[in-house]
Every structure is written in structure tokens, then in C-alpha cells.
Chain A
């Protein structure tokens, strides 16, 4: 939903980032306001996942230029944990398995860490159990998820649900969901999309990073951006996603070449 009284949550300007000396992001601009849902689309290797990880502070990506202001703070100066505590959430494309740590223990730990940061009450295991089971209903998750080790042996779909469950618990201001639809079958996609929709409020914002349009049938974006060669080369409304689906990314190539470089600088 686009609200004209919305506050700017994230303002990225001219962001450049490199991994192992190879520049991947070549000047990304993006503004996200409260209440908005954005979709960043693009082919594999266009830089969209790098953008997501760079915003979350992945240490492998070195920021070489540009700025990112999040809720008035210079995001690029913050450690990953400080970004999370400031209200940024990254839903991983490939959620990491953490053997030896029970999911319930992990979820309570991260929940309490953020509660403490926000001055809220920390939950003991019993209180937390009630809370997490409530949130799991939102995602149609089997309670045995809690007893298993974090993501260990989870199917692709289970891992993605576990990401959205974390988002539900942490209630971020801005959630960047990296390829959350990959690995999901049609039913799981609907469940996860429904969960995301219910977590979207007028106070937060969501950035969906995706290759395919199918997630956008369920989570309807206000803005769609096409990324290519490390830059956002085209932005539009939700109809842009449909156009991409119909005409393919090649179409943007030809369209983008007509955009003056200055528009992206």
C-alpha cells in the first residue's frame, strides 16, 4: 500500500559493493517507505542477492561507494547484529543449518535478544512456547520443528517457513526476503505468501528479491524494480512484473539501453 504520509525507512544511494575485488553492485539506488512492498527482480547474477546481503552486512561484501540510511542511521557503519537490532531482517535464500542447536532454543534466544534491545520482556521457555506455537499456526508449521536442530535436515520449503517464522517473531521494520519462493511448491508458496501478507502492516516494509513473478501473484508489490549488471535499470508498478513474465528479461535489456546513464548514477 502506498501511503503519502509514509516515512522513509531505507534510502540507498549509489551503492557499490565488491566481493574478492570483483565489483558486483555498481551504483544501486532504492527508496523504501513504511507500508510499501517492493519487488527486486532480475536474472541470476544480476546482483539482487548481493544487494540483499550487503544491506544485511555480510562480511564477504565490501562496500566501495555509496550510502544506505536506515531509519535515520548510517546502515553501512553498523555491524550485522546492530542492523538486525535496528529492525532490518534478511530472509536467507539458503538458510544456514546450525547442528547442535534446537530450533526452539535458537528462536527464543533471538527473540529475547531483540526484546532486550527494545526494552521488552524476555520470555522464559514456557511463555515463549505459547508465543511461537501461535506464530507457527500462521505458517501451517508442524510443532516438531521446534525440537529439531536449526534448519538441519529441513526441506527447502521447511527452511523458508522457518525464515518467515523468524520474521514473525522479530517483527522487523524492514524485511528483505531473498528468493523466499525458491524451493516452494504451489501449496507452500500460498502458505508462505499468506504469512508474509499478514505480517505486512502500515508501519513496516517488505522487499522481495525474486527471479520469478509467481510469488508476486500472492504478495502484490507496490513497486517493482529490475536489476541488471549490478544496477536497478527499470522501476515501475506491479504491472512491470507481469510484463517481465510475458516478455522476459531480454526485453528490459533493449528498453534499458534507451535510459540515459545519468538516471541511474
Chain B
């Protein structure tokens, strides 16, 4: 590529991009080139950018990372404990590279679950959707992901197909590298599917996971999306997810953020047609020096939409939780019914939370409610539990756990819920 990249950090990240082999799909090569081109006019955001006010990326820019040249082999036994017994299919990516021997792609209902690079059919659908929902024009991390786009997870659920058991995408980081996970889910009309996007690690080294997920929900379809981020304590995780909702479709998501030194998750849900519904819940549980930033935008573009959002942060140590929740109700979106609630628990005097509910309402006949609280564990509740014989630590753990459990309980997969409950209990130990 002959493009000049002004920003030296971005230049260093892009160094390996030219080594990518060309895709047989001409449009994909064009898409990548377009992203590289766009990066030349973008910079790494700083805290002077409103959208990044609280999230200082300078620690990331001090390390230069490249995609791994070849995949590490992991024995199946090593990832056994990360698998979900309920799942009907599973795609495993190790440092961003597809691991077919650890994956299961059969679903017996005509559902496509495969890695993008292997796609020969559906290329027209792919061309019309891939990269069309997470715009990289103003999003340098989405642009980077797209510049490196050569593989990822592709799920196509045919119309009227109901998949009862979940699909599991497991992304495992094993070394210091730049990883660009990509996922595209197309849910056909009146279909139903549950997707688990799971970011795990087996290394303590610093790495960057720069992920992009696009979810397209057709008329009357229903998608449940569970996202779990359990990156290494020294890792960077920056992800964008865009969800496009058609008429009378429904999207429910629960995202749980536990890991990474610095993480940022942008979730944009657009209700493109009437009577669509979304439930967007999140739990951030961090401690130490962690920073976790969640930006969500629920865009009501058409009438009769319903959105429900509950976001909770639990911040211990000297950690920093950020939540920016935008609800946009456009002029056409009459009779929108929207509620947003942000609840935050600070476990120490050094932890802090920056919470910004942001309502922009242009329609005049709507019902929108929002609320935000930031607090500490309640002394009366602690005393009540202690008066029953529980130690201070046990009482604090139980109350903290209970605060987070409200979100975890919304995950529709029993084994994952149990594992997260354990993880939460371990994390809240002093």
C-alpha cells in the first residue's frame, strides 16, 4: 500500500498489514484497502476527544504489536474448561487465527457456522453486510480491524429456523500480539439464535484485542447475545459491536466485563424499523488499576420501539469504570418506550466511576425514563449480615456478589452463569 500514514503508532500497527495474502474475493480486498486508506486520516483518540474523555489510550501506544505469524497449537484438553456443554456449535480462534480442530461447525438445521476465510457460498450476502454496520469512518480501531480482515466468525441463520442451543465463539489469547477478531451474524426472518462471544486468555503478557462484531436481525427474528470479556490483567481490549434491528425483531444482550488493564466496548443498536425491541444489560466488575469503559447507543429510528437497559459497574481497588449510555429517539420514532438504569457500586475510596446517561429525544409522544446511582455497600446491610455471624469480608462479598448477580442471572446459559458467579466471587475477594 502506498498510503502515507501520519500517525507513527498507527503506522507501526499497520506494518504487518501488507503481508496479508489477498483474498479471492475482490470486494474484500477493496474493503481492506479502503480501511487502510481511512486510517491515514485518523489518529489514536486522546482524552481531548469527547468520546474518550475518561479513557487514556497512551499506555497502549507505548507498545507496538503485530498479528502472530502462525498459530499456536493448543491441545483440546487445555481449552476443555472454557467450553460450554450447552453449545451446539463452537468456533475457536487462537490469537485471532481459526482453530478448526477445536471447533464444531455442525448444527443440523442448515445454519452456517464457519470461519470467514473458508466461505465460498453466501458471498453476496457477505458483501452486502460485512463492514456495513460498524462504520470505520470515524473509528480507528474498527478501521484497523477491517484493514486486517481476513478471517473471523460467520453465522447465518436461515429464515424460520430456531436454534435452541447456543453458538459459542471462543477467542483465546496466548501471547503478546495484536489480534483482530471479527464476527458477523445474520439472523433470517423469524429465526432465533443465541450467540456467546467469549474472550479468554492463557497468557499474562500484554496484547491487544481489537474486535468488531456485526449483528443483523431480520423481521421478527430474535437474537440473544452474551458477551464475556475475561482478558489478561495486562491486556487491552477495544471492541465495537453494531446491531441492526428490522421490523418486530428482538435483541437481548448481556455483556460482562471482568478483564483487561484497559477495555472499551462500544455497542450500537439501531431500531431501523417499527416495533423492534432490545434489552441491553451490562456488568463491569473491576479492581486494581483496571479501566473499563462502556459506551452504548440505542438508536430508535422508527415508531413503537422498546428498549430496556440496565448497566451495573462494581469498581474496587483504584479502578475506574466508565459508562456512557446514549438513547436516541428520532423524530419518526413515536410511541417509543425506553428505560435506562445505571447502578454503580464503589468498593473502595480510591475507585471511581464516570457515568453519563445521555438522552436525545426528537419525537414528542414517547415514554423515556432513566436513572443513575453511584454508591457504596450499605452499612445497615453489612451490620445485618454480621449480626448473623458473617465476617466483614463474607458480608461484603455476599452483597457485592448480589449486586452483580442481577445481571448474571439474565444470561440464558446455565453453565456460563455458574462459571461467572464463581468468577465474581473470586474477584470480589479482598
Taking beta carbons and an 8 Å cutoff, which residues of A are in contact with B? 56-60, 79-81, 83-85, 89-90, 92, 95-96, 98-101, 106, 109-110, 113-114, 117, 166, 170
Contacts and interface: CB of A to CB of B under 8 A. Distances in A.
B406 A170 contact: no
B205 to A, nearest CB: 36
A81 B384 contact: no
Interface stretch (B35-43, B58-66, B391-399, B412-420): B391-399
29 contacts: A57-B386, A57-B387, A58-B383, A59-B379, A59-B383, A60-B379, A79-B386, A81-B387, A81-B388, A81-B390, A81-B395, A95-B384, A96-B380, A98-B381, A98-B385, A99-B402, A99-B406, A100-B402, A101-B398, A101-B402, A106-B398, A109-B390, A109-B398, A110-B385, A110-B390, A113-B389, A113-B394, A114-B389, A117-B389
Given A59-B379, A59-B383, A98 B399 contact: yes
Given A98-B381, A101-B398, A109-B398, A80 B387 contact: yes
List the 9 closest pairs (A to B, CB-CB), nearest first.
A100-B402, A84-B389, A96-B384, A80-B386, A110-B388, A101-B402, A113-B389, A81-B386, A100-B405
B403 interface: yes
The majority secondary structure among interface residues of chain B is helix
A56 B403 contact: no
A84 B386 contact: yes
* B interface residue count range (under 10 / 10 to 19 / 20 to 34 / 35 or more): 20 to 34
B132 to A, nearest CB: 40
Interface of B: 378-381, 383-392, 394-395, 398-399, 401-406
Nearest to A116: B389
B381 A96 contact: yes
Contacts of B399: 98, 101
A96 B380 CA distance: 7
Most buried by A among B383, B394, B399: B383
Contacts of B406: 99-100
A227 B187 CA distance: 71
A100 B380 CA distance: 16
A52 to B, nearest CB: 11
A80 B406 CA distance: 28
Contacts of B380: 96
A116 B385 CA distance: 16
Given A57-B387, A84-B386, A90-B387, A98 B392 contact: no
A101 B406 CA distance: 9
B388 A113 contact: yes
Nearest to B401: A100
A84 B383 contact: no
Nearest to B403: A100
A81 B389 CA distance: 4
Contacts of A109: 390, 398
B427 to A, nearest CB: 16
